[in-house]
Amino acid sequence: MEVVSEVMAHGGVQGVYRHPSGSCDCDMTFAVYVPEQSSAGPLPVLWYLSGLTCTHANVMEKGEYRRLAAELGLIVVCPDTSPRGDGIADEADNWQLGTGAGFYVDATQQPWSQNYRMYSYIVDELPGIIAAGFPADMERQAIFGHSMGGHGALTIALKNPDRFKSCSAFAPIVNPMTADWSMGALETYLGADRAAWRAHDACALIEDGARFSEFLVDQGDADGFLHDGLRPWLLEEACRKACIPLTLRMRAGYDHSYYFISSFMEDHLRWHADRLG
C-alpha cells in the first residue's frame, strides 16, 4: 500500500492511499480518516460510497465529516467509484457508464468484467486492507453513501446484514432496474437478463426476501433527479411491505449536491455512532 498523502485534521489523520487491486486488476485509490482516539485502541469503521462521476476526493473535500468523526471516534473510509487507467474499458462521452460509474456491481459482460468488480472490491478486498493497515474494529462497521453510492450502500447492507450495524443514504438510486440513469449500466455490466439485475437493486432485494434492521434516507425535494432517477417512495413502499423500519426525510429546497450532503452529514454520523456503540 502506497501513501499518497497524509495530513492532520481535527487531531486525527486524513490519508489517501493507493494499492494494486486483485478485484479490479488495476491500482485503486481510497481515503481514510483516522481520529486521534485510535491511540487508545481500535475504532468503529464507517464506509462512505460516492456517486456518479466522483472519486474518493469529492466527499473528502466537500463532505465536512472530519470534525464530528473526530469527536465521535469514527474511522471513515472513502473508496473510489470505479477502476481507472489506460487499457480499462470506458465510454468517455457517457457519464453514466465506465470511469466514475462502477455502480458497485461485479460486471459479468466483456470487456467490463475484467476490471469492473466493485462489489467484490468493497465487500471483500478493501476490508482486508483496512483491517491489516489501520486501527479498525471490524466487528463494528456501518455503511452510507450518496446517489449511486446510496444504491451501493443499501444493496451491500441488504446482502451483508451481519457485517453492518447500520446503513443510511443521501438521495439514493433505490430502484436502478427501472431508473433512467442506471438501466443502461446494469444491462451493459450484467447483460440483458433482468433477473440478474435484481441482486443489485434495493427494492428488488427486499421484494426477494433480503432484510436489514433499519434505514435512514435524506432526500432533497428540489433534486433534479428525484422523479426520473431516485424515487425514494419506491423504497418506502418496499420497506413498508417488508416491515423494515425506514426513516425517510424529504428536505425542502435541497438539491443533489454536496451542499445538501454536508448539511446533513452530522445527522448521519451521529445516527451511525449511536448504533455502532
Give strand pairing partners of 17: 3, 30
Q: Would strands 43-49 and 12-21 be described as parallel, antiparallel, or unpaired?
A: unpaired
- φ/ψ of 174, rounded to 5, equals -90, -20
Cis peptide before 83 (omega within 30 of 0): no
What would the grid cell of residue 38 be? 485510535
CB atoms inside a 10 Å sphere around CB 90 = 21
User: Can you read off the three cell numbers belonging to residue 171?
Assistant: 438521495
CA–CA–CA angle 255, 258, 263 (5° rounding)? 85
The candidate with the shortest Cα–Cα distance to 57, out of 35, 80, 77, 85, is 80
Query: Which positions are catalytic?
Result: 147, 223, 256
Q: Where do the DSSP E strands lie in the chain?
A: 2-9, 12-21, 26-34, 43-49, 75-79, 136-146, 164-170, 215-220, 246-251
Cα 12 to Cα 276: distance, rounded to the nearest angstrom: 20
